[in-house]
Amino acid sequence: MSFHIIGTGSALPERRITNDDLSQFLDTTDEWIFTRTGIRERRICTSETLDDLACAASLRALEAADVTASELDLIVCATTSGDHILPAQACAIAEQIGASCPAFDVSAACAGFVFALDIADGFFARGRARRALIVAAEQMSRLLDWTDRATCVLFGDGAAACVIEAGGASPLAIELSTAPDTAALSVPGVPGTSPFASMRSPQSMLAMNGRRVFKFGVNAICDAVHKLCETAHIELEDIDHFVFHQANDRILAAASQRLGIEDDRMARTLRTTGNISSACIPYTLDVLARSGELHPGDLIALVGFGAGLDVGSSLIRWE
């Protein structure tokens, strides 16, 4: 089957937390963080809920697509940090925007948006849906150990969404994969208070092996891009925009150097948002779309990678 994106939207919390702000309670500096990550600031939820951000991004995408919530046939939300363990974050979105279609979440960490696109495309292929809202929403600040300068400086909160419609020229290629490694980047589940538990559960805070994730991220981007080109029977030079997961600028720089990508074709948004997990790719798409940098016919390579270790990549044509 095929689809095309007909509207995008995004939302970030109001509160900006700069590197200097973090240096007030961490043994770090703006220079230390920026030279290692490419991040100057990130947005962190204070009074906003993730429901608020996800719904705001969804409504902006619907407005851009000129589609009402009642016209949606499906809502898929990519998240690992939702406001709810149950119901699904997607159900809360559906309730607040006034939709009555099937709604559910997908958990594939930073690759979640591309996984959600592929799921929706499957609904289109079976004739089960014509329009879908794909949302990626993350409140990473609730999962962090704010005493660990190696991880808490990397992440931020935010949401982004797109409305896709059956038909069109996308995807020219799409690929999902998992190289199982649960220890490289993980957040333990909620400990609970069961009186029958025989062992103490760790706190639900993010832990990461930075070197392992760095190596995996660079290889994942390069392998995915070459696979997309091979599947779509195109050359690397035919791709107009590269929208990769915004984990760390050093990963982006290493991948672009290995691929030989000119800097003006590599999208970067992490300087002001940090890593917003599954929301990175759709947020960057929304920034590009609203700034007028995307033109009909442009080829865009999307690559998300993260905990799991999951990789989702897709080659889409902007319409």
- Name the residues annotated as catalytic: 110, 245, 275
> Between the CA of residue 68 and those of 120, 133, 290, 315, what are the distances in Å?
18, 11, 20, 27
Look at residues 64, 90, 97, 59 and name the one whose alpha carbon lies nearest to residue 75: 90
Laid out side by side, the sheet with 3-11 consists of 3-11, 157-166, 131-139, 74-78, 103-106
State phi, psi for 100 to the nearest 5 degrees: -130, 20
Question: What is the enclosing helix (H) or strand (E) of 181?
Answer: strand 173-181
Secondary structure in 3-state letters for 33-44: HHHHHCCCEEEE
**What residue spans of the chain are helical by DSSP H?**
19-22, 30-37, 50-65, 89-97, 112-125, 210-232, 249-259, 270-273, 280-290
Query: How far is CA 6 from its chain centroid?
Result: 18
Are the C-beta atoms of residues 101 and 73 closer than 8 Å to each other?
Answer: yes
DSSP one-letter code for 266: B
- Give residue 292's identity as a one-letter amino acid code: G
Query: Positive or negative, the Cα torsion across 181, 228, 304, 117?
Result: negative
Which residues, including other chains, have CB under 8 Å from residue 38's CB and lie 6 or more apart? 248, 249, 250, 252, 268, 270, 271
Look at residues 145, 302, 139, 299 and name the one whose alpha carbon lies nearest to residue 233: 299
DSSP one-letter code for 143: T
